[in-house]
Homo-oligomer: A and B are copies of this chain.
């Protein structure tokens, strides 16, 4: 067996400078056990790890040099040396940064004001991570496909279905033909109709939601351009995806289900996709948007209150 971990990097992204923390979080779930230990140590204490040699870090994490190097590769660096440099950069970056006062998890007895602060902070973090980890090449490709598509189908179930509907709603507003399917059966039924020139978008945080993978597979086999928006760029869903857009995976806690931050992340991706498409179809998008405002105007009472 050959170990070509570089191949797992879809497009040759240049290693991340301060986006390292994001990358670690995004990638952690798809790492093996010992690699996770290394990644954790690195994310936990960048400054400390930057001071260590491969051997040192291997000992600290109770693994081998080989594993450390492998982890560095997975993180997108050519080797440990480069990861170490990035780590030093990150450390300096953090140092200059602000006080990470609210990093703690939300507890059952947190006062409501604390909850607001922590949630806002977490979601901001999620946004930053997502933006940092988003592959703009893949995004551009997805945008190009969507902008010229005959029709666009969006698949998502559970929490992701709302994101799907949001995307479809917005695309409709700029005059594109888009549908969101939350019902797996109807999704497959519709996917069968797709062909080359159409676009299918699957949204699943886990990357392994059968109900979403199935319609994407059908669309893929019918020749449609397929896009996966997922937190697991190595998950089964990517088998049938021409373009993969990665969402960030923030830690979850008992009170804070993963759905919450994954939704934030997914929405940002979807927004980017939408804006990208709107740019490329500006001629028709702008008047369509204006028209939809116009149509809604009479639904608002003339704010006489107070």
B contact residues around A289 at 8 Å (CB): 254, 257
Min CB gap A300→B, angstroms: 4
A124 to B271 Cα, complex, angstroms:
14
Min CB gap A248→B, angstroms: 11
A304 is an interface residue with CB less than 8 A from chain B: yes
Interface mask (A261-301 → B, CB under 8 Å = 1, otherwise 0): 00110011001100110110010011001000000100111
Residue of B nearest to A117 (CB): B131
Query: Which of B95, B116, B124, B165 contacts A272 (CB under 8 A)?
Result: B116
A140 to B259 Cα, complex, angstroms:
23
A41 is an interface residue with CB less than 8 A from chain B: no
Contact B131 A112 (CB under 8 A): no
Interface residues of A (CB under 8 A from B): 17-18, 50-51, 84-86, 88-93, 95-97, 106, 108-110, 112-113, 115-117, 119-120, 123-124, 127-128, 130-131, 134, 136, 139-140, 143, 158-159, 162, 165-166, 169-170, 173, 206-211, 213, 232, 234-236, 238-239, 254-257, 259-260, 263-264, 267-268, 271-272, 275-276, 278-279, 282, 285-286, 289, 296, 299-306
B contact residues around A275 at 8 Å (CB): 106, 115, 119, 255-256
Min CB gap A160→B, angstroms: 11
Contact B92 A17 (CB under 8 A): yes
Apart from A93-B93, A209-B299, 9 more pairs, CB < 8 Å: A96-B96, A112-B140, A120-B130, A123-B127, A162-B165, A208-B303, A210-B299, A213-B301, A235-B303
Query: Which of B93, B234, B304 contacts A305 (CB under 8 A)?
Result: B234
Give the oligomeric copy count: 2
Query: Which of B158, B268, B305 contacts A296 (CB under 8 A)?
Result: B158
Contact B112 A239 (CB under 8 A): no
B contact residues around A263 at 8 Å (CB): 166, 267
B contact residues around A85 at 8 Å (CB): 50-51, 84-85, 88
Query: Which of B50, B113, B300, B305 contacts A238 (CB under 8 A)?
Result: B305
Contact A18 B96 (CB under 8 A): yes
Residue of B nearest to A118 (CB): B275
Min CB gap A252→B, angstroms: 10
Known: A115-B275, A263-B166, A305-B235. A208 touches B88 (CB 8 A): no
B contact residues around A235 at 8 Å (CB): 303, 305
Contact A120 B131 (CB under 8 A): yes
Known: A112-B140, A267-B264. A255 touches B239 (CB 8 A): no
Query: Which of B106, B117, B166, B232 contacts A159 (CB under 8 A)?
Result: B166
A299 to B212 Cα, complex, angstroms:
10
6 closest A-B pairs by CB: A89-B92, A120-B131, A236-B305, A85-B88, A88-B88, A208-B300
